[in-house]
Structure 1
Amino acid sequence: MITIKGQLAIRTVSGRLGLFNVGRLATSIGEFTIKDALLDQYQEGKYQGDFAIKQIRPSYYSHGGRLVVEIRAELEGMTLDEVTTLSEEDEEQLSTNVPDPLEEETATPLASPPVSEPATQKTSNSALASDEPFGMEPKTPAATIDTAADAELFGTVWPLTETVKLDTTVDRKRLRAQCSRMEQLGYSMDFKTQTWNRKAA
């Protein structure tokens, strides 16, 4: 494993299975494609920092009748210092015509139980008869906690506290569901500490 300074550009792509992130890491020893699951926690942007690389290997996929070969780096971890918006050049280098890494993974049975995202509270007809003045929309209810489903989804990090560090070694599908649920529950990601913090009311 090596640790090296670099710049990681992350772009969000809309795929068949939903949104996912892809990255391109520029370092003094070369540029590498990054498709690690931990990227799905981050917002689109260009991040400066130190990157621990555990493996560099060639990878390929077919797209639109052509074979695409890329040099992929797998990250052990990273320490990020600052973030800026993507430039037009960055966006050009990070193509949106890429397969979802979730589809690349083999369909082997997962050791963890199936992931089910807790449903948010729905407004019933009785909720429409609110105490709001005539003509005003009733307040949208905040996401409610479904204790059993959330406990299953988050596993060892449940119950959630004010600050949560997700386990990025879980399978990619589960991590994406956890990130989505964290946003529903009013958390935001701090890229420097790599933790989710509950937003102030």
Structure 2
Amino acid sequence: MEPTTDSWLSAVTVPGKLAVRKIHGRNGPFNVGNLVTPIGKFAVKDAALEQYPEGKYDGEFVISYIDAKAYPSGGGIRIEVRATLDSMTLSGIDKLSKAEARAFSNQEVDPLDEELGAQPAKPAATPVPEPAPIRASKDPLIDTTPFGVGTPAAVVVATGGPDSDDAALFGLLWPLGESVKLDSTIDRRTLRTQIARLGQLGYALDFKSQQWNLTPDLQAA
């Protein structure tokens, strides 16, 4: 059974409290949220939540999209109203109360599974023909390189070394500085891997600035 939707789009900025809960699923841990605002209560499944520790956050939230979804859950049908956040400004954090933690369903669906299930099948890749070999003149003053053929661009690949693997994982963010701001619009699996790796490298999230900072003892190292 495919999820049903009933959506409207109208960006609005509202104050609220965002409860973030970490769930342990078959793909590993993932975060989901409940947002309470003056205009209603919404589930939040945005990829940006993957970065945040479990807790309750005060702030202002720009809601760009509201979506009512119905899907099978625990032998029945579950309906939730989701809000998609365009941005948020957080000002404080507290621990979740027992009641706030229980407000999350035991049947929470990993957003990664939803995204993978919604993706259309990829067409078979078309093989790229090998370019014809380029013969260079023995005369250094004569350039025999065909027009339009330049020096091949550098390609970052993982080769087993830690620097190479991190460069492939972080792409344009590499090399990492003392502060790193992740792009939550990339695919969710890669984002989770980046978050886990930043923790291993000694970075911690500053939820107010929404960026990862290298811990002071490692900055001096």
| Structure 1 spans left out of the alignment, 5+ residues | 110-115, 120-144
Instruction: Report the equivalent of 1:169.
Output: 185
Q: CA deviation at 1:117?
A: 9.4
1:186 matched to 2:202: yes
Alpha-carbon distance in 2 for matches of 1:38, 1:24:
14
Indicate which of 125, 141, 146 corresponds to 2:162. 146
In the alignment, structure 1 residue 197 sits paired with structure 2 residue 217: no
Distance 1:186 1:100 in 2: 27
CA distance in structure 1 between the partners assigned to 2:164 and 2:34 by the alignment: 38
User: 1:125 maps to what in 2?
Assistant: none
Say which structure, 1 or 2, has more relative contact order (CA 8 Å, 6+ apart).
1
Give the counterpart of 1:103 among 92, 113, 119.
Answer: 113
Show the counterpart of 1:129: none
User: 2:78 maps to which residue?
Assistant: 68
Normalising by structure 2, report the TM-score. Answer: 0.73
Q: Following the alignment from structure 1 to structure 2, what is the Cα–Cα distance between the partners of residues 25 and 118?
A: 42
1:107 to partner: Cα distance: 3.8
Among 16, 19, 39, the alignment partner of 1:6 is 16
Identity %: 46
The partner residue of 1:77 within 71, 87, 103 is 87
Residues 64-93 of structure 1 show CA distances to partners (whole Å, capped at 9, x for unaligned) of 211101000001110000000000110111
User: When the two structures are superposed, what TM-score results if normalisation uses the length of structure 1?
Assistant: 0.80
CA RMSD of aligned residues (A): 1.8
Q: 1:195 to 1:64 in 2, by over 3 A?
A: same
Count of aligned pairs: 170
The question of whether the paired residues in 2 share the 8 Å contact of 1:117 and 1:181 is answered with no
Distance 1:76 1:23 in 2: 15
Q: Secondary structure at the match of 1:161?
A: coil
